[in-house]
Structure 1
Amino acid sequence: MTQADSQPAYNAAIEETLIAVEDALDNCDVDMDYERSDSVLTITLEDNGTQVILSRQSAVQELWVAARSGGYHLKFEMPGWKCTTTGEDLPTLLDRVLTEQQGSAVSLGL
């Protein structure tokens, strides 16, 4: 399968993922705000103003996460997104970076 052939599946996976993250943020006990602008989801921790940013990278078919601790590139591998450097799945990675930036436990329940 060529990259062009897999683009619709990639786009569907990204959209589904961003919606799931937004839903999880709506139900989280930690005071966080988020804003979505097309393919970028910016999460702001209200206690300290730090941000975690998720962005679609269509050219390489990845989901990138930018956090205070660094940048993470995730590829979609069944059953979900997996970080190319840490091996973490997206729920584990997001909970970790949000917990580090918040200074207390954050669990999105993804």
Structure 2
Amino acid sequence: MTETEFLVRADKILDNIQDQADEWFEHLDIDVDANREGQVLTLIFNAKSHMVINAQTPLQEMWLAAPSGAFHYRLQGEQWVNTREEGPNLDEQISILVSSLTGQPLNVRI
């Protein structure tokens, strides 16, 4: 995949997550603030717990950092898979983490 193709995919992922966070705030009364600067999206839950999702363009990876740890994902086929260990795909991991941080089951679509 070219750098441009990666950036298009990364932007779509970050836009989708930010849109969903805005929906959680507006429709589910979840205290979440979504801030985007370039290829970095920061979600702040209850004004204290941070989750950061960002594009690592040179590696063509999406990185995720949360209170419970850091994760790296690379596109394989149509799935963003964990590069460090066997585990949930990117969307599944984000869903697990935001559900834990909010105390509500949330299904993130990337």
Q: TM-score, normalised by structure 1?
A: 0.83
Count of equivalent residues: 104
Superposition RMSD in Å: 1.7
Alpha-carbon deviations, 1:37-83, whole Å to 9, x = none? 1111000002x511000111112110100001110001112323222
Alpha-carbon deviations, 1:11-48, whole Å to 9, x = none? 111011111111111112222111001111000002x5
Q: Percent identity?
A: 21
Offset of residue 108 of structure 1 = 4.1
Hey, what's the Cα distance between the residues in 2 that align with 1:86 and 1:34? 29
- Comparing 88-97 and 56-65, the one that deviates more: 88-97
| Structure 2: runs of 5 or more not aligned | none
Q: TM-score, normalised by structure 2?
A: 0.83
Q: Which 4+ stretches in 1 moved above 4 angstroms?
A: none
